[in-house]
A and B are shown apart, each in its own frame.
Chain A
């Protein structure tokens, strides 16, 4: 079955960390990754590897996260490799020159994307979707004075995530119903296919609207109103959370000062 955010339930120091700390750390780390140069990539990679290991992640998980990006990463690498001016490293016959700078930029950019994806997957693999949402909600709460309704955003996002599997199930049901009535989703030219797909999208969209109406009614019936509410699990920072945050900050600051 479809697994949201690929969250891997487990008991590890990283899993236990407050979602806010993890979100803020990933954001700070991402900024540093995008500005990394010199020997920094090696240290950051090491740091990510330690965090992933502590979070009970396996190399397979990172590879799975990177696989959809593989093509894009290759293009990026070769564009930098072939089209950067600088000291020539290698001459390829029809007038293309691979430069030293090109190789460096290509490797660096590829590493940056890999590191960003790895950091993000450590966050989503070790934090439950509801943990992520309550973390975001708490981080946004101070901005509610500026008109950002953090409580409503949290409810909205969690509803969207909650209904992803339900809608997938429904689309499967509609697809089978249409196949049973003779629709073929694999044959025909583009126009024909577009028509067949619309026989799937239209019932799905109409069904979702009806669903949304019933859902709104049910939420109202359970006393939902916009604005502040309380939570089953109110996030509370433990000493270990402060410690972890200090470690991240010290590491990042040290990296820049060295």
Chain B
């Protein structure tokens, strides 16, 4: 469990606090997406979970241990894995497997255990075949996966991802999202910063941040129903939801609490049928799906 109480944080030499009075509790195994405009403090908040930043006032507790207590820092860094935004600057090994071994090596584990963990982590992200490759020969997506594997080798209980899909092509993006969802399914707590609203649809909860504060939190459906409020912050809503909103604005009698493309397809076909725009119910469904 990650508990944040009245957290205030200020960067050295900066007059305005980067985080102002944050209160947030993230339960074990929860999948929390954090969204918000650039510079709102998402990354700064994330790095508090790993004791990379320490609160100026207030507390951050990981499984009951306050991050401000130096005696717990080592254990906290093992419990909370951190996947940073730029994989190039977090890969330290000269080969993929050496990089994944870096964390366990720091824990002082015996060689055999390190080898086993490297193996497991490589399998978890599907990079077995790249074990001996030097990192600069990998694609952007593969580098991210190496970074994730390096974190998994520490056997963390919570993982924080800082914009894990930025600058990736659609297939690499899909691979990363799949890995994140699998980890969540296996019971890992996931904290996921993103700008892509389509990615947050499957989260248990969304935390919207603005100007160093938690602006609102809620289930994805609740958050995405406040379209106007999100737009004010410069944020979007999932594409599927946006389509439904636009249809509704033009007089369509549709639900707008749907976040996925498939869900929107079903809703739109149901609507067309209600409006008797489609008589033959045999073929249209697949046609509609392609159009969307």
> Residues of A with Cβ closer than 8 Å to B?
1, 4, 129-130, 155, 158-159, 161-162, 165-166, 169, 211, 214-215, 217-225, 228-234
The SS class assigned to the B binding surface is helix
Cβ contact within 8 Å between A223 and B94: no
Q: Give Cα distance in the complex from A162 to B87, angstroms.
A: 13
Complexed CA–CA distance, A26 and B52 (Å): 44
The answer, among A158, A214, A220, for a CB contact under 8 Å with B94, is A158
- Note all chain B residues with C-beta closer than 8 A to A161: 94
Given the complex, which residues of A lie within 8 Å of B150, measured CB to CB?
222
Q: For B111, list chain A residues within 8 Å (CB).
A: 230-234
Q: Which residues of A contact B114 (CB under 8 A)?
A: 230-232
Residue of B nearest to A225 (CB): B106
Contacting pair A222 B101 (CB below 8 A): no
**Contact (Cβ within 8 A) A214 B86:** yes
Which one, B78, B89, B95, contacts A211 given CB within 8 A? B89
Q: Pull 20 A–B residue pairs with CB atoms less than 8 Å apart, ordered by A.
A: A4-B134, A130-B94, A158-B94, A161-B94, A211-B88, A211-B89, A217-B47, A217-B84, A218-B90, A220-B52, A221-B52, A221-B77, A221-B82, A222-B150, A224-B102, A225-B74, A230-B104, A231-B114, A232-B105, A232-B118
What CA separation (Å) do A166 and B99 show in the bound complex?
Answer: 15
Are the C-beta atoms of A223 and B90 separated by less than 8 Å?
no
Interface residue range, chain B:
35 or more
Complex partner residue of A130 from B47, B89, B98, CB under 8 angstroms: B98
Docked complex: B267-291 residues within 8 A CB-CB of A? none
Report B258 CB to chain A, min CB distance, Å.
Answer: 37
Q: What is the predominant secondary structure among interface residues of chain A facing chain B?
A: helix
Chain B residues contacting A218 (CB-CB under 8 Å) are: 82, 84, 89-90, 92
State how many angstroms separate the Cβ of B73 from the closest Cβ of chain A: 9
Contact with A along B63-86 (1 / 0, CB 8 A): 000000000001001100010101
Contact (Cβ within 8 A) B74 A217: no
- Nearest-CB distance from A159 to chain B (Å)? 6
**A215 to B111 CA separation, bound complex (whole angstroms):** 24
A83 to B110 Cα, complex, angstroms: 60
Q: A162-B91, A169-B136 are in contact. Are A220 and B105 (CB under 8 A)?
A: no
User: A159 — which chain B residues lie within 8 A by C-beta?
Assistant: 92
Give which listed residue, B77, B88, B136, contacts A220 with CB less than 8 A: B77
Other-chain residue from B90, B115, B134 in contact with A215 (beta carbon distance below 8 A) = B90
Whether B136 and A224, one on each chain, are in contact in the complex, defined by CB atoms closer than 8 angstroms, is no
Residues in A with CB closer than 8 Å to B115 are: 232
Known: A130-B93, A222-B106, A225-B106. 16 other contacts (CB 8 A): A130-B95, A158-B98, A162-B135, A166-B136, A211-B88, A214-B90, A217-B52, A219-B92, A221-B90, A223-B74, A223-B154, A230-B104, A231-B114, A232-B101, A232-B105, A232-B115
Q: Does B236 reach chain A (CB closer than 8 Å)?
A: no
Query: Contact at B103–A222, with CB atoms within 8 Å?
Result: yes
Chain B residues with Cβ below 8 Å from A217 are: 47, 52, 84
Q: Contacts A166-B136, A221-B82, A222-B151 hold; do A231 and B91 have CB atoms under 8 A apart?
A: no
Q: How far is the CB of B189 from chain A (nearest CB, A)?
A: 16
The reply to whether B94 and A230 form a contact with Cβ atoms under 8 Å apart is: no
A232 and B151 contact, Cβ closer than 8 Å, known pairs A159-B92, A165-B134, A166-B88:
no
Cα A218 to Cα B147 in complex, Å, equals 10
* B97 contacts the other chain (CB 8 A): yes
Instruction: Decide if B52 touches A230 in the complex (CB within 8 Å).
Output: no
Contact B52 A223 (CB under 8 A): no
Residues in B neighbouring A233, C-beta threshold 8 A? 111
Distance in angstroms from B89 CB to nearest chain A CB is 4
Residues of B within 8 A of A130 (CB): 93-95, 98
User: By the criterion CB–CB under 8 Å, are B103 and A223 in contact?
Assistant: yes
B108 interfacial contact with A, CB 8 Å: yes
